[in-house]
A and B are shown apart, each in its own frame.
Chain A
Amino acid sequence: MTEAIQLLVGTRKGAWTLKSDAARKSWRVEGPQFLGQIINHFVVDPRDGRTLLMAASTGHLGPTILRSTDGGESWAEARRPPAFPKGGEPPRAVDHSFWLEPGHADEPGVWWVGTSPPGLFRSADGGDTWDSVAGLNEHPMFFSWFPPEAGTPDGAILNQIVVDPRDARHMYLATCSAGVLESLDQGATWRPLNKNVECSFLPDPYPEYGQDSHYLALAPTNPDRLWQQNHCGIYRLDRPGDTWERIGKQMPAEIGDIGFTVVPHPRDAESAYVFPMDGTDVWPRVSPGGRPAVYRTRDAGQSWTRQDRGFPAEQGWFTVKRQAFCGDRGQPFGLYLGTTGGEIWMSDDEGESFRQIAAHLPEIYSVTAAPL
């Protein structure tokens, strides 16, 4: 059973929306919206299906959050965008909001945002006003976890926020310089959760913190199963355990297990998908060998199967960034990925084949899928 899908696409130059028919066969491209604005994330609130938020900035102007409460018909700017408290040493200022996360289903109106430089902010009014989360931003370890000189080529990032669907108090963060952090009290306190996660760029290769966690996903049917695409490999953790297992070691050696993101199957906790990139020598961060492919595991990472039907067989140098690979809830499961070359590819058969549904867009930063 499938339903019509909308893909919300954030790019380096604005936002676009793709809308499908119920069979997900035909797609219509709408946009641009906010042409020229850098849209790092574009998300719909699953609790009401009508509230849309964009994390926006431009090359010149400071960052903001754009909001719609009518499904995208009209937009307004957040009255008080995320901002650090005035003062502090060193004084911090939000360069851009990176990750938008709707709060727990029991907390309508609550949203979380992660920023660059790293910071965590919360809204209780549907994204209109935002407050700094002191439990992280003023944590005594903050500048150890997030040293000002650390981070990605685009600056240090709080990559991602994950809320346990069973418990609003239980949260995880994926960060670029402290790895995974966990809170059991809705962000009041945090602790690293990085045991056995490699950190090949520090003197201690298995530190308590310091890892670059690109992406974290809970298995929808078993939120105690965590999948992680790290800067240094693909990992799985089954709670209440605290020791990650590098399941990427089972990937083909010539492909490796470096990438930006991992997508869990919506109904099968043993299954997940990754889109590997070249992390050898100077880190080209493109599809290994110029042959794009998704890899799927059906056995919790003990083995991986290549899925490349439909993708270019050669000279395809895709890069898929952190927020640009996602799935829907259809049956069969639909997969979507956006490339730095402005293409969107989808699979309507759980990765058995892919086809291009949009091209010539600006560099794609994020793709999220929701029922239309």
Chain B
Amino acid sequence: MISVLIPSQLTAYTDGATRVAAAGATVDEVLSDLDRRFPGLRFRVVDEQDRIRKHMRVFVGQEETRAVGRPLADGDELLIFGALSGG
């Protein structure tokens, strides 16, 4: 299983949970697993061309990735952040 950090922008989908467990061998599979349980979540993070949206940042452990095909290993930690400044 993958431990996923949910940012505040997405906790409306997860009933307030900031940490959830999900299954998958890639970032995309984990997001798709989350989307099955929390419908609509994936499209707000990844666009229809499978690109991580501009102001969302995804890390596997300490390493940032912009590729949803990035492989994951059991026990990895996936961290999702919303990052945008301005008023």
Given A77-B39, A79-B39, A61:B44 Cβ within 8 A? yes
Let me know if B9 and A86 touch, CB within 8 A.
no
B45 at interface, CB cutoff 8 A? yes
Q: Which residues of A contact B50 (CB under 8 A)?
A: 86
State how many angstroms separate the Cβ of A96 from the closest Cβ of chain B.
12
Mark the stretch among B26-34, B51-59, B64-72 that contacts chain A. Answer: B51-59
CA distance A85 to B50 in the complex (A): 11
Contact of A64 among B7, B10, B43, B48 (CB under 8 A): B43
Let me know if B9 and A81 touch, CB within 8 A.
no
List B residues 5-55 near A (Cβ within 8 Å): 7, 9-10, 39-40, 43-51, 53, 55
Given A93-B49, A94-B48, A58:B9 Cβ within 8 A? yes
Contact of A59 among B10, B39, B51, B86 (CB under 8 A): B86
State how many angstroms separate the Cβ of B69 from the closest Cβ of chain A.
14
- Interface on chain B toward A: helix, strand, loop, or mixed SS? loop
Let me know if A81 and B43 touch, CB within 8 A.
yes
State how many angstroms separate the Cβ of B57 from the closest Cβ of chain A.
10
Give how many A residues have a beta carbon under 8 Å from the other chain's beta carbons.
Answer: 19
State how many angstroms separate the Cβ of B7 from the closest Cβ of chain A.
8
Q: Interface digits, A60-88 against B, CB 8 Å rule (1 contact, 0 not)? A: 11101000000000000111010111110
Q: Which residues of B contact A153 (CB under 8 A)?
A: none
State how many angstroms separate the Cβ of B64 from the closest Cβ of chain A.
16
A91 at interface, CB cutoff 8 A? yes
Given A77-B39, A77-B40, A62:B84 Cβ within 8 A? no
CA distance A84 to B43 in the complex (A): 12
Q: Which residues of A contact B56 (CB under 8 A)?
A: 60-61
Let me know if B43 and A62 touch, CB within 8 A.
yes
Let me know if A62 and B49 touch, CB within 8 A.
no
- B residues near A (Cβ < 8 Å) are 7, 9-10, 39-40, 43-51, 53, 55-56, 82-84, 86
Known: A64-B40, A92-B49. 20 other contacts (CB 8 A): A59-B84, A60-B53, A60-B55, A60-B82, A61-B9, A61-B53, A61-B82, A62-B45, A62-B46, A62-B53, A64-B43, A81-B40, A83-B47, A83-B48, A84-B48, A85-B48, A86-B48, A86-B49, A86-B50, A93-B49
